[in-house]
């Protein structure tokens, strides 16, 4: 078990960090975990996990800095601080609802739907678009396409690199849940963000935000140097897919949420309340 609190050593403090092995995360965290940017005297001990596992780790406070879904953030915002830097938030990058058979959106409420985690933003966007869906099955995101092909479920919500590969497996899109969100709200899609444990205190949290921003900018300026680390952890090993993934999910909002990014998160919170998805 990774100890909580800032570890003190004779050299510098250590922050425990958890993020996903997806290309956009390994891309943005590479510089700060490999000594490429000024970390203001902080070093990072990192752990990689699937996004729903990260949501759970944040809930249980296993780490001090974590990448989580914005759906999970709605439940954890009292005890964690959302950083302005590091978010996956933007346009045209939302999850897709797919199937093997030619189902229509009207049929979806009566179908079984695989989701990549209860507290993923993918699940939240599904609920916003289809409030009457009842039969959901939680699966690892990388297992959803196979479950559909094997008729274990009727449909599934795919995220990450699977949105680039599903058509090649004979699957079809029922709805782009991100496009549906954009149509409903006019806002970019808040997928995931970086949070820091409130127990760290405002001074350390402000440092973490600055370090995170430097790491994102460094990755944007040196994309080729990040790729060995990205490639080491990517589920989808095709180089073009990894680069498409990074280009889609690492945006100007990743450098800084800004007013528009923060407004999108507030809209998501309001809609989740209105649809009784959160209390």
Residues with active-site annotation = 160
Q: Torsion over CA of 21, 23, 27 and 32, rounded to 10 degrees?
A: -10
Judge residue 197's burial from the number of C-beta atoms within 10 Å of its C-beta, 0-12 exposed, 13-18 middle, 19 or more buried. Answer: buried
Contact between 176 and 122 (Cβ < 8 Å)? no
Name which of 181, 141, 180 is nearest 157 in CA terms: 141
Residue 63 CA neighbour count, 13 Å, CB half: 24
Contact between 234 and 148 (Cβ < 8 Å)? no
Residue located via tokens 């004979």? 170
| Distance between CA atoms of residues 247 and 10, nearest Å | 40
Contact between 128 and 152 (Cβ < 8 Å)? no
| Angle at alpha carbon of residue 133, lines to 188 and 58, rounded to 5° | 55
Residue located via tokens 């990894």? 242
């Amino acid at each position: 078990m990774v100890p909580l609190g800032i570890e003190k050593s004779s050299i510098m403090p250590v922050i425990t960090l958890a993020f996903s092995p997806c290309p956009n995360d390994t891309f943005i965290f590479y510089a700060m975990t490999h000594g490429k940017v000024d970390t203001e005297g902080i070093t990072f001990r990192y752990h990689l996990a699937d996004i729903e596992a990260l949501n759970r780790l944040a809930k249980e406070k296993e780490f001090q800095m974590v990448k989580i879904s914005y759906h999970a953030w709605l439940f954890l915002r009292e005890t964690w601080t959302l950083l302005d830097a590091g978010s996956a938030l933007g346009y045209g990058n939302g999850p897709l609802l797919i199937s093997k058979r030619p189902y229509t959106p009207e049929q979806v409420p009566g179908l079984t739907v695989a989701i990549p985690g209860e507290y993923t933003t993918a699940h939240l966007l599904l609920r916003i678009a289809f409030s009457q869906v009842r039969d959901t099955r939680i699966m690892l995101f990388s297992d959803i396409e196979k479950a559909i092909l094997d008729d274990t479920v009727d449909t599934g919500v795919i995220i990450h690199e699977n949105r680039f590969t599903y058509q090649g497996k004979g699957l079809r899109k029922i709805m782009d849940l991100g496009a549906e969100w954009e149509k409903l709200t006019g806002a970019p899609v808040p997928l995931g963000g970086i949070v820091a444990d409130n127990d760290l205190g405002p001074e350390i949290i402000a440092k973490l935000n600055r370090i995170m921003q430097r790491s994102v900018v460094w990755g944007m300026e040196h994309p080729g140097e990040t790729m060995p680390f990205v490639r080491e952890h990517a589920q989808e090993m095709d180089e073009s897919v990894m680069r498409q993934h990074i280009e889609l999910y690492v945006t100007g909002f990743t450098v800084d949420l800004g007013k528009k990014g923060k407004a999108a998160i507030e809209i998501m919170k309001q809609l989740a309340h209105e649809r009784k998805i959160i209390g």
